[in-house]
Amino acid sequence: MRPTALFVLLLTLFVLGCSTGPDEQAMATEPGDPGTEVDESDLIRSYDQIPIAPAEPTVVHTDEEWREILSGDQYHILRDHGTEPPYSGELLDNDQPGVYRCAGCDHALFSSQSKYDSGTGWPSYYEPIDDDAVGTAEDHSLGTFRVEVHCGQCAGHLGHVFPDGPAPTGLRYCINSLAMTFDAED
């Protein structure tokens, strides 16, 4: 393979980033209470089962204000829909109890109770902390269909949701570490 073609292939794989599925070990994992029975037929297993519910921002700033609030890398992810490199985020291996919040507006997004190791290189959760935590939108970038996840309060880009997660939902919210902060439980 020519070096240029190899570079394009590697760049494409990097840009697709979080769209890679979880490894077999992660799929065998079922977060939640031990002994909880889940009807496998209730799990979301295709994109057409993921509800599209765009975020309606209540926290709004100008582009200049966002640049003052966020670091350059956070701005790239939250406002420009970027993606951090896999296995680079400091929240990936965090296993403390607590709440993950939007780095842009401090809105509660995910509980540590729904976090699991998907094997993809990004923090993954099987459900948001509540119904208003996140919004979703169709993403047709990169020539493929995905479902993008946004903060329910400021509409900042967080990552994507995939229909290959564990019980109890069947969803994998694949979220950039830089899009979040973490509040440890006391």
Residue 100, amino acid: Y
What token pair was written down for 100? 């993950």
**Whole-number Cα distances in Å, 91 to 21, 69, 83, 85:** 19, 20, 14, 13
Instruction: Read off the DSSP letter of residue 105.
Output: T
* 32 exposure class (CB count in 10 Å sphere: 0-12, 13-18, 19+): middle
Superfamily (CATH H level) for 60-186: Peptide methionine sulfoxide reductase. (2.170.150.20)
Kindly list the catalytic residues.
174
- For the chain, which residues make up each domain, given as ranges? 60-186
Angle formed at CA 67 by CA 134 and CA 152, multiple of 5 degrees: 10
Look at residue 4 and give its three-state secondary structure.
Answer: helix
Q: Each residue's pLDDT tens digit in the chain (186 positions)?
A: 555 544 444 444 444 454 444 433 333 344 554 445 656 767 888 888 998 999 999 999 999 999 999 999 999 999 999 999 999 999 999 999 999 999 999 999 999 999 999 999 999 999 999 999 999 999 998 889 999 999 999 999 999 999 999 999 999 999 999 999 999 998
Closest CA to 112 of 163, 162, 181, 19: 181
DSSP type of residue 84:
P
pTM score: 0.81
